[in-house]
Amino acid sequence: MAWLARRDGSVVVGHGPFEAATVRPASAAAFFIQDFALGDAAPWKVPATHEVLGSRDFAARYAEVPPPVCQWLPLEVVPFSGVFQEVMAAIHCGVFEKTVPVVAEIGGGEQDPGPGIIAAMARQAAPLCSYGWSAGASGFAGATPELLISLDGLRLETMALAGTARLDDREVFAADEKEIREHEYVAQTLVAKLTDLGRLERRTRHILDLGSIVHFLTLIGLDLHQAHSPDTLVKRLHPTPALGPLPRTEETLGLLLAWRERLGCPAEFGAPFGVWHHGRFDAVVAIRGIWWNGGNLTLPAGCGVIEASRLVNEWRELRLKREAVKRFLASS
């Protein structure tokens, strides 16, 4: 099964078996499921059947599914500290302005945790968009606040979502130069990558309240001069500096991928996850999720590192993001 909740409150659900395709098929619905490196040569997954539900109706299907029982292992700081020092050295040498290392908390679930994780994510409401992919005893599911692309005809919408703090720190966060600078890296890069494609509108930066945490959010809209395929637009935008390196070059992306692998990051974390449905394409950034394989669980989180970053602050941010995902399970 695959699903994606869209910003209009609808949920496109696909049921297998799925057929993999290298280009978007002519069928009414197809899911775009990639890894972070865009290494899957056949990212389009065509379901045998699909349906469109309201978000409440989709969540109601899992009303009787109990939350999974998860046991999480302590996460050691030493591996991340080593990567953090390498990142800072690369920044000081001028290789990066910003990059986003990822840590992964490991855990275990009793019996099959998949249904409980799916149920927990399906119950999350706007401004979060739930998503998921389940195949046999493995899969991943999450509820992300980050839109990569919404494409309907010649209208494209995206967002810069970067900068993170606890809700209690909202007032100081609003004036935090480091967090504002990190956000502006993302927003300005998106504008630069899109401005030649059409008439662009960048809205005012504001704070997105997600309950326990807050982010800076800038909405960006674009009226395209001409039609572009979803694949082309994904490759142009992904990864944004919210999850990827700045500047984005073969060298900097290679370094980031190596750091992600060292720290146990799932390949799909931070990747585009999308659905094509009757001429409309919506893709989110696959964050705030849990990966499972049998009873083995992985909970990844990333942090944006710039020259002003400090290890203790980034480690705190990583924990803040992981705890937000655990609350999805607890509230289910």
Please list the rounded mean pLDDT of every run of 10 residues in the chain (332 residues).
96 97 90 98 97 96 91 96 98 96 93 92 96 95 98 97 95 95 96 97 97 96 97 97 95 98 98 96 98 96 96 97 94 57
Is residue 166 within 8 Å of residue 213, measured between CB atoms?
yes
Q: Quick one: DSSP state of residue 61?
A: T
Is residue 263 within 8 Å of residue 104, measured between CB atoms?
yes
HSE of 58, CA atoms in CB hemisphere, 13 A: 30
How far is the C-alpha of 181 from the C-alpha of 99, rounded, in Å?
13
Is residue 245 within 8 Å of residue 188, measured between CB atoms?
no
Question: What pLDDT does residue 276 have?
Answer: 97
How far is the C-alpha of 301 from the C-alpha of 233, rounded, in Å?
25
How far is the C-alpha of 241 from the C-alpha of 192, rounded, in Å?
12
How far is the C-alpha of 147 from the C-alpha of 168, rounded, in Å?
25
Which neighbouring-strand residues pair with 283? Answer: 149, 274
How far is the C-alpha of 41 from the C-alpha of 6, rounded, in Å?
25
Residue 236 phi, psi dihedral angles, 5° rounding: -70, -40
Number of other residues whose CB lies within 10 A of the CB of residue 6: 19
CA angle 269, 275, 281 (to 5 degrees): 115
How far is the C-alpha of 227 from the C-alpha of 166, rounded, in Å?
40
Is residue 134 within 8 Å of residue 141, measured between CB atoms?
yes
HSE of 323, CA atoms in CB hemisphere, 13 A: 12
Torsion of CA 113, 134, 269, 187, to 10 degrees: -120
Question: What pLDDT does residue 331 have?
Answer: 64
Cis status of the peptide bond prior to 17, with omega within 30 of 0: yes
Question: What pLDDT does residue 101 have?
Answer: 97
Strands 44-54 and 10-21, sheet pairing: antiparallel
Amino acid identity at 5: A
The residues spanned by each domain of the chain are 2-330
How far is the C-alpha of 1 from the C-alpha of 19, rounded, in Å?
12
How far is the C-alpha of 102 from the C-alpha of 104, rounded, in Å?
7
Question: What pLDDT does residue 239 have?
Answer: 97
Level-2 CATH architecture, domain 2-330: 4-Layer Sandwich (3.60)
Question: What pLDDT does residue 117 have?
Answer: 96
Helix axis angle for 311-330 and 77-92, nearest 10°, is: 130
Between the CA of residue 155 and those of 146, 187, 221, what are the distances in Å? Answer: 18, 18, 8
Q: What are the helix (H) ranges across the chain?
A: 55-60, 77-92, 114-122, 170-173, 177-194, 230-237, 250-262, 311-330
Is residue 79 within 8 Å of residue 265, measured between CB atoms?
no
